[in-house]
């Protein structure tokens, strides 16, 4: 079983994948191609995804019964003692530090509360 999930990818890429997989929801493709075809499809997805993101999940003979790969995602698969886990970016890295000083400027106070 193979699942490919596309986000913000060109329509032509979606049309290409429908030759081999069934689109069960917008951007979600499922099917059972051979490993060779799956690798070719994934190479095409990585090449033509443009600014989009992609996720490939497929069944395999390991402890979890499946494995997955990502393309241009902030979350990345990481091997941890034989199990594949997802590493999410930390919240501190996702939120940029505030560079503007706290409080209201004199001009914004005048605009909001009038000339007092």
Q: Give residue-wise pLDDT tens across range 55-84.
A: 999 999 988 999 888 998 888 888 888 888
The CATH number of whichever domain residue 6 belongs to comes to: 3.30.70.240
Range of 29's domain?
2-90
Q: Give residue-wise pLDDT tens across range 15-51.
A: 999 999 999 999 999 999 999 999 999 999 999 998 9
**How many independent structural domains does the chain possess?**
1
| 29 falls within a domain | yes
Q: Answer yes or no: are the C-beta atoms of 23 and 17 closer than 8 Å.
A: yes
| 31 falls within a domain | yes
| 104 falls within a domain | no
Read off the pTM.
Answer: 0.72
DSSP string, 58-81: EE-SSSSSEEEEEES-SSEEEEET
Take residue 32 and report the two structure tokens written for it.
């059972």
Q: Which residue has the higher pLDDT, 97 or 36?
A: 36
């Amino acid at each position: 079983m193979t699942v490919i999930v596309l986000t913000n990818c060109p329509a032509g890429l979606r049309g290409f994948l429908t030759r081999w997989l069934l689109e069960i929801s917008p951007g979600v493709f499922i099917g059972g191609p051979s490993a060779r075809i799956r690798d070719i499809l994934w190479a095409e997805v990585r090449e033509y995804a443009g600014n989009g993101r992609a996720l490939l999940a497929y069944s395999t003979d390991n402890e979890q019964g499946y494995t997955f790969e990502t393309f241009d995602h902030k979350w990345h698969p990481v091997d941890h003692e034989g199990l594949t886990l997802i590493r999410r970016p930390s919240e501190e890295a996702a939120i940029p530090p505030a560079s503007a000083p706290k409080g209201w400027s004199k001009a914004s106070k005048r605009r909001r509360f009038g000339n007092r």
